Structure formats: C-alpha cells, structure tokens
Amino acid sequence: MNKHEIPRLVIAGTGSGVGKTTIVAGLLAVLKQRGLAVQSYKVGPDYIDPGYHRLASGKPAHNLDTWLVSAENLVELFATTAKGCDVAIIEGVMGLYDGGRGGISSTAAIAKQLAAPVILVLDAKAAGESIAATALGFKAYDTEVNLAGVIVNRLGSSSHKAMVGEALERLSITVFGQLLRTEALMIKERHLGLTPVTESDAAQALGAMAWQVSRDVAVDKLLEAARSAPPLPISKKIASPKEKSVRIGVAQDEAFSFYYPESLAVLETLGAELVPFSPLGDKALPVVDGLIFGGGFPEMFLPDLSANMVIKAAIGRAAQRAMPIYAECGGLMYLARQIESFDGQSFEMVGLVPAVCRMQSRLQTVGYVEATALKDNIFCQRGESLRGHEFHFSSMTVDADADFNWAFEFRKLRTGAVYPGGYAAGSVLASYLHLHFSGNQAAAARFIAKCKEFQRQREMIP
C-alpha cells in the first residue's frame, strides 16, 4: 500500500450561504498568486461552484461524493487528481454535518475519509458571542472530525470583530480569519443556486475576494494546518488509458455545461475521444459514434436552441441510424418534444423523447437516487442499478394515453419513495438523473461498447 503526502484542507460551513465559495475562491486566487500549485474540490454533486474554483485557480475542480463514487474510488480519485499539487483545498457542501441519509457525502464524512483538517466558516451577520457557542457545538458534535479552527465572515464592524474574537479565544478555538461584510463579495444566485461563472461578473469580483482574503485571513497558518494532514494510504492501481477507439460528441456550451471532469476522464480512459460541440451555435454534428447531452440551463436559451433547426434535424437523423445518444436533466429537456418556459411560452426541441418539459416556479426534486433499469438500454441491462442524483425545476409530462418507454424505477435514498423515471427506446437513453462514471464504470464501458457497435455499422455503409 502506497502513502501519498498531500497537504489538504476542508473549508466547511455551518450551513448554506455562509460564504464558503467566496472564501475558497479568494483563497485559491491568493495561493495561485504566490506561485503554489493548488488543486480544488467540491463536496457533493454541485456543478456550479467548481466553476468559480476554476476561475480562481486556472484548473478544473473535482467533485467528491460518496454516493456517486464509492469510498475507495473517491480516495483514489482525490489522490490521482491532487498528485503533484502543493495544497488541495476542498469546499464543503451545506453545513458540515449535512448530507444524504445517514450522513452520506456530508462534508464531515469526506473530511474523515481523507483525514483532512477542517476550517469552519461562521456567519456573524446576525450574531455576537453566540458565534463561539456555535463553533463549540460543531467541534463537540463529532470528535473524529479534526476541526482545526474557524473563519468568521460578514462581521459588521471592528468592535463586532473584537467581541467575536474574544469569545472564540476564551474557548481556545483557533481563528484563521475575520472578514468584514461587503456586498461587493456577494455572488448572485438564481433557481439552481449560484449564477454560473460564465454568466456572472465573478471575474471582476475575484480580485476583491483575493484582496480581502490576503488581508484578513492568516493564509500561512492555513498552509501549516494543511501540511499537518497525515499521509493518505492508496491501495488501488491506476488504470492505464486505452487506445482511442471511438469518438463521442459532448454538448458543451452556455446551455449545457454540467459535467464532472473526472467522469468524462473515465470515458477517455476506456478509449473514447471526446469531441465538444454546441447545440446553440453549430450547424452540423461532428463525425462521431455517440452523443452525450449533459445538464445545464437550456431554459435560459430556449429561442436559440429552438431556432437551430439544422442541428436538431441532425440529432434526429443520428437517432434514426441507431447512434447511441445519452442525455441527463437539461439534456433530457432538449431531447423532449417541447420545453415550456417560466412564463409559459412553448419552444420546439429535438423531439426524440415524446414528452413536454415545463419550467416550474418551485424546485421539483433534489436528492440522491438509485435507478433500476426497467429494460435493457445503452447503459445497463434490465434489473441493473445506477447511482445518481436529481436536482431540477422542470417537470416532464407524457401523453396520458401513450405507451411511454420508461427507462428506470427511481428510488429516493432519503425517503424511499419509488417512481418511474427517464426514457429508453432504441439507442436513446435520457433521464433527469445526473451520473458520475467513476461510480458507474460498468455503464460507461457498456456505452463505449455500444458506440463501437455503431462505428462498425457506420464503416460498413459505403
């Protein structure tokens, strides 16, 4: 068993909205300015926060999730992607102890799995000395979590800062930073969380974030804490990439951007050459043997997606030729017959899935899901299961008298609720389920095999 020396640190919070992403982005920018090689991570399945990490560090961030990826594979994923870095910074999700049922994929669970020191972000906007009691409670709740100290955010004044600092000092809780409240550092939100970095003014705010972190956070002390993490034992051998044997088109533009870098890397390791294309702007599909449509925000680009008749027709022809086509969440919506916008306007989409997706004012579902195949499809055989998560504001309506080809039986991890989900017919598989191929490698291998079958058939046609 090998042991890897990886300086690492978890930036956690008492809950959502306390400023974790802002502080992490500022810290990453400061570390990069110092010339350090830094690798960042996000606990849980979120796609948007890692975009801010990438903006700050210049490198793709990776997700750490013990439902989507097994614990053993998660440690391997972390060690592989952190190899050669000077420090790894891991942003938590929600509150330190929040996660799926039984604490699955909570920040605390990931911190213990990786033996990483934890820095707790406390929001002092509406509290004084009670902040110290909150910190003490988080420290005592699970003594197996190495809570190294705190960063206090959104202080109202210098006197407020002194009061909170003195209260924490009395409890011998290390304070790594105290940041005053400023609206300039607030990241805008919308229906799926933070506004994607490509659509926000985050680049302008990043400089302010870095400046405040460098002024108000003891960065050198944070690095000392990160270097105190013990060596990480790694037992699994890293798979050697296979020779590229198939080409898979991946929809990547402003409408479709929800992809896990390490998940796509699994496809590459299995022999896929990934070819990006844009359903928004391209007028032809690339020459490929399969298509993937990830999630994103198609609802924000409905007129342009609907107007690109050429690419929609090309996708339809690809399906008629039995090209393997996989879509999840926003990708499912795009492959549907229509999408109805928040204001009730209908826009024609590709039409491979005989359903209408409607944007709703409230979140329809969120959480981890186990999906059991109701029939053979391009990812798995009937009765086999996949692990993923759902998070969407749209609903899907099928014709009441139609014999709809449901793909899966979904079971909610937290509640045990069971319901049909997705669509599987011929070479098309689409659902609201977000997958990570590191935790569903058999599905990735089956998809590659289906693409190879299509490639052989395509090459036989003169």
Active site residue ranges: 329
Which residue type is seen at 54? Answer: R
Determine how many CB atoms are found less than 10 A away from the CB of residue 144.
7
Report the DSSP beta bridge partners of residue 91.
Answer: 11, 42
Q: Mind spelling out the 3-state secondary structure of 199-231? A: HCCHHHHHHHHHHHHHHHECHHHHHHHHHCCCC
DSSP string, 322-338: T--EEEETHHHHHHEEE
Cβ pair 238, 274 in contact under 8 A? no
CA distance 136 to 330: 42
Give Cβ neighbours of residue 290 (< 8 Å, ≥ 6 apart): 246, 247, 248, 249, 323, 324, 325, 326, 447, 450, 451, 454
CA distance 200 to 185: 12
CA distance 146 to 148: 6
Helices (H), 34-68: 49-57
Run of H or E residues at 268: helix 261-269
CA distance 106 to 265: 24
Total length of the chain = 462
Encoded tokens for 371:
């999906």
Q: Which residue has the tokens 């793709």?
A: 60
Calculate ∠ Cα 118-122-124, nearest 5°.
165
